[in-house]
């Protein structure tokens, strides 16, 4: 015979730890520039240099608020001529709660930029199209790989500083 008064699933003493939560409070363009120094039609396929940088800073108000900045830059050249230079600094204000210290950096430098990227990508595509070029559609970015490469690079340079992101490549 069983005792009906015994609890089936006893709860641990105290309050259980809550899972980390992240909220996007706002997104905005901090800086945008488009330069079109090249003139005349170009017959050759352009070479596009792409740069990506990610940074995060605590907001002055505190309360788990962080500003995460995603910086994209693109420079198109063909036949020794610079066709266009486009630079975008797109940021978001994020509130992060219940995150452990070891979880903060990956959340800020991987998850937050991952949420910002589609919007920044669309802005780059529109601004290049409005500048008279075909829209520049940036391939999806693996922010985990970007974070890991920056972390390793910071370690090999002798600094234990946290990575701020950053990658350059060609499209």
pLDDT tens digits, 119-151: 999 999 999 999 988 999 999 999 999 999 888
> Which of 36-45, 98-107, 158-167 is predicted most confidently?
98-107
pTM comes to: 0.78
pLDDT of residue 11: 42
CATH topology of domain 21-170: Bacterial Protein-export protein SecB (3.10.420)
How do the domains of the chain map onto residue ranges? 21-170
Chain centroid to Cα 118, Å, comes to 10
Which of 17-26, 36-45, 106-115, 152-161: highest mean pLDDT? 106-115
Q: 27, 167, 25, 21: which is closest to 103 by C-alpha?
A: 21
């Amino acid at each position: 015979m069983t005792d009906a008064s015994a609890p089936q699933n006893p709860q641990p003493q105290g309050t259980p730890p809550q899972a980390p939560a992240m909220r996007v409070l706002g997104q905005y363009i901090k800086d945008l520039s488009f330069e079109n120094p090249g003139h005349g039609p170009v017959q050759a396929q352009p070479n596009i240099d792409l740069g990506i940088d990610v940074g995060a800073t605590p907001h002055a108000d505190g309360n788990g608020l962080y500003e995460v900045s995603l910086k994209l830059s693109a420079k198109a050249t063909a036949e020794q001529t610079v066709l266009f230079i486009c630079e975008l600094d797109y940021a978001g204000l994020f509130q992060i709660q219940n995150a452990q210290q070891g979880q903060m950096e990956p959340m800020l430098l991987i998850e937050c930029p991952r949420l910002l990227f589609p919007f920044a990508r669309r802005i780059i595509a529109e601004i290049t199209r409005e500048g008279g070029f075909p829209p520049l559609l940036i391939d999806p970015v693996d922010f985990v790989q970007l974070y890991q490469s920056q972390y390793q690079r910071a370690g090999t340079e002798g600094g234990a500083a946290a990575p701020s992101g950053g990658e350059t490549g060609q499209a």
